Amino acid sequence: MKESRLLVLFDLDGTLVDPAGSITGGISAALAACGLPVPAPADLQRMVGPALMTSLKDIAGVPEDRVAEVIARYREGYRASGMAQSRPYPGIREVLEQLRAAGARLAVATQKPEPLAVDLLRVQGLLDLFDSVNGSPADEQAGAELDGKRTIIRAALIRHAGSFDSAVMVGDRMHDVHGAADNALDCIGVAWGFAADGELETEGAAAVVHSAGELLTELDRFRVQERTCANGSL
């Protein structure tokens, strides 16, 4: 039986790593330091996932000419303490190790600036488990001009072209579902992230899992289905 080669794309914050308040708290601190209003907690939660520049303008209402200032304050605090405060979600490391042992290729697809994503994964001891890290440009302005998650996922697929037979996205927000769909991929939603109740189901996630164990089971089922299809049994 021919083994189907699977590429699994993972979102970062809210999927692999629990920011432990470092993102929402860091945004609040940066806004306050710049003398700008701090959004309500629910709105701060919604700011985790999209590009930071976009969230600051669309959700926090930061004027265009103040966005760069707020981002600089936020990044300074995040590098100083936020990355160290974050933690991999329970069981995630074991999921990644088991997927690699089974022959899957693993990649990160995040709207976080790519150099910052690499640094975070290194601090959390996860970097060596991934074949690539795909994120926004270091230039926040250039990152804001990307077409959401679509462009980042497409770049990851191109980067790994020829090394996989099928691919699936794993993420915690609607942006992951939409970006996957725009690239003709299924998205498995994780319920431990930052999505509002029912968001992932409503936006079309192929499945929603509530633990690392459930995620591994779902990915194993996906691998079996793809392997069956590859052998013409369906």
* 120: its two tokens: 């975070």
Amino acid at the residue 112 = K
Q: Which residues pair with 132 in a beta bridge?
A: 107
166-171 and 6-10 as β-strands: parallel, antiparallel, unpaired?
Answer: parallel
How many whole angstroms separate alpha carbon 158 and alpha carbon 107?
12
166-171 and 186-190 as β-strands: parallel, antiparallel, unpaired?
Answer: parallel
Catalytic residues: 11
